[in-house]
Amino acid sequence: MAQAILAVTGIACTSEKRGFDESPTVFETDAGEAAAPPACGGRRCSRDLHAIVDDCTQAVLERCPADQGCAAAACVPACESAEVSQGSIGCSFYAVPPDSAPSSESSCYAVFLANTWSTPAAIKAELGSEPLDVSKSVYRAIVQGTSVSYERIEGALPPGELGIVFLAQGTPGPDTVHHLDCPPGVEVAWRGTLVGEHRTSIYEAFHLETDVPVSAYSVFPYGGAKSYVPAATLLLPTSSWHTNYVLVDGWKANAGSPFIQIVAREDDTEIRLRPQVDVRDGKGVSGAVRGSVARWMLKRGEVLELAQPESLAGSPIESSRPVAIFGGNQCAFVPDDVLACDSLHQQIPPIAQWASRYSAVPYESRRQGLEGSAPAPESVFWRIAGASDGTVLTYDPAPPPGSPATLESGQVVTFRSEHPFVVKSQDTSHPFYLAVHMSGSQTYRTLGDPDFVNIVPDEQLLDRYVFFLDHTYSTSNLTVVRRKDGGGFHDVTLDCLGPITGWQPLGSDGAAEYAWVDMTRNRAPVKTAIGACGYGRHEASSDGPFALYVWGLDTDASYGFPAGAGSRPTSPFTIPVR
């Protein structure tokens, strides 16, 4: 929560043209066909990637050595196995804090690493292109009731462990009234404020590498409920990065400005953008005219941030080498006239990983039902973006009020719905993007505040997730969506609960169901038949595909993120920017 208006200017460009591949665009094959499962009786990888199994009986035919994993029914190095699996686990991640409100810019920044492998994960880091020592900055959180202590993890991150890497903290000043320190006693890897210009500029990103696959999430500020402007995002491994995106930011300008962060992993990475609005000059960065092709060059580990009141959402971007895109807003009112504002931040998937079908299920309603009845539905904000002209959308069970029937390339539409729905386009050559937005606390006078979370396409669902719940939020819950496969619906098992119950049908075709799971209420774990759910590390798994979204709520504060997502190529569509 913050109400100060942020003044933002800026952006950058060069007319030089270096290192960009001008060869014709090569379209990828349709992922729906490429990803079709082999006929029963073949060999395939086990779901945990540790073995080769019989496709009919699931019997283990060969178990891979501890430092290897399965890929294409063969044992290969573990990191290569994760890359081929095209999920959200990997061995190389870049992390950058959001351009948050100046009142919290110096706060604690942390990345969570979940070791999903069976052997310890050695961790090393860089800031920009320079080594960064994190050997004394990785901790486990020990939660006992409502109290939390931190124990340093010496050496590698043990199997199944969730490590918190305390990457950065700046020095608070007179204006950083919502500054949050990292927990007392922990050693922070780097002292400074990474994102402090609040306008278009170039700075450095953190790079984390491991020698076995992990999943990664970033949180700013760590322990952020008291900062009132927290944001979290799933981090996508560098193996999932791409060269072609449509920009998506968090929300249009009101209390704060929207921003885009472009991260390079290689030197001489040329960025080419065709902006839908004029791009303002920034600090050391030249602007561009609407409709022109702007060019910028980035070095390994550099971030180009584009921040200005005029939204660049919908603008296509192409790069000479794979990049990551993050989108957000410094502090957004959602809707524009309702308090309070909050920082928004998500890593945005490339066009190749957008898809033609999404199961749109939001967070659990924050509204209380009458006399103990079920919660009343919220009117939830959704944002949808198109990549291809002539995208025709159909909704099940019915189109929400204000939802678009068609989308053109680069068109971004915001609408509201009181009920979950399925939305799909005519084919994989017409991919689109979907995000859900939590509204401000004063919309219904509830917990929570504006938030922005990617919706995972139906084609990118996984079957296992390791995730965390932040102990500083009084209420935590999960949104779970499962898809039917050839074997019907499969149980989704949560470590603290067992099989999830309370499934509700989504749409009318019988292909999907959803459920909400309460994990903590009023700062206390929710009791279950096998114990209790609570803060910290958790795991969910199934024999079928499902999506899982994590939500945390407190007074004028919230965070949310998808616990994982596939990175398979799901669309052949590209937008050349030449």
pLDDT one-digit tens code per residue, 300-314: 999 999 999 999 999
* Global pTM value: 0.92
pLDDT for 1: 47
Query: pLDDT confidence of 47, banded at 50, 70, 90?
Result: confident
Residue 12: pLDDT above 80? no
pLDDT greater than 90 at residue 248: yes
CA–CA separation, 191 vs 108, rounded Å?
10
pLDDT for residue 27: 31
Residue 185 lies in a domain: yes
Q: Note whether residue 137 is domain-resident.
A: yes
Asked if 364 and 502 count as a contact pair (C-beta separation under 8 A), the reply is no
Q: What is the mean pLDDT of residues 334-349?
A: 97
Average pLDDT over residues 548-556: 97
**What number of residues does the chain have?**
578
Bond preceding residue 258 cis, omega within 30 of 0? no
**What pLDDT was estimated at residue 372?**
65
Q: Let me know: does 111 contact 165? Beta carbons within 8 Å.
A: yes
Q: Examine residue 172 and state whether it is found in any structural domain, yes or no.
A: yes
**What is the percent of the chain where pLDDT is above 70?**
92
Residue 416 is predicted with a pLDDT of: 99
Is the pLDDT at 38 greater than 70? The verdict is: no
pLDDT class for 280, splitting at 50, 70, 90? very high
Q: How would you classify residue 372: left for phi > 0, otherwise alpha for psi between -120 and 50, otherwise beta?
A: left
Pinpoint the alpha helices (H) of 59-156.
Answer: 78-85
User: Residue 82: inside a domain, yes or no?
Assistant: no
342 occurs within a structural domain: yes
Element (H, E) at 33: helix 31-34
Structural domain boundaries enclosing 261:
91-351
How far is Cα 565 from Cα 530, in angstroms, rounded to an integer? 28
**Average of pLDDT values for 6-12?**
33
Q: Which residues contact 5 (CB under 8 A, 6 or more apart)?
A: 255, 256
Number of domains in the chain: 1
Give all strands (DSSP E) within 181-299, no chain letters.
190-191, 201-204, 206-220, 231-235, 242-246, 258-264, 269-273, 294-298
For the segment 70-79, the average pLDDT, to the nearest whole number, is 97
Q: What is the pLDDT of residues 112-164, one digit of tens each?
A: 999 989 999 999 999 999 999 999 999 999 988 778 899 999 999 999 899 99
8 found inside a domain:
no
Helix (H) or strand (E) holding 32: helix 31-34
Non-local (6+) Cβ contacts of 75 within 8 A are: 52, 62, 64, 65, 68, 69
In a domain, 129, yes or no: yes
Q: Average pLDDT of 343-362? A: 99
Phi-psi region of 284 (alpha: psi -120 to 50; beta: other; left: phi over 0): left
The predicted structure's pLDDT at residue 13: 36
pLDDT of residue 6: 35
Q: What would the mean pLDDT of 239-246 be, rounded to a whole number?
A: 98
The residue-averaged pLDDT of 193-197 equals 97
pLDDT grade for 371, boundaries at 50, 70 and 90 = low
Residue 510 in any domain: the answer is no
The span from the CA of 423 to the CA of 509, in Å, is: 12
Buried b (16+ CB within 10 A) or exposed e, 163-189: bbbbbbbbebeeebebbbebbeebebb
Is residue 477 over pLDDT 80? yes
Residue with tokens 């990785």: 138
Residue 18 pLDDT class (50, 70, 90 cuts): very low
| pLDDT for position 143 | 82
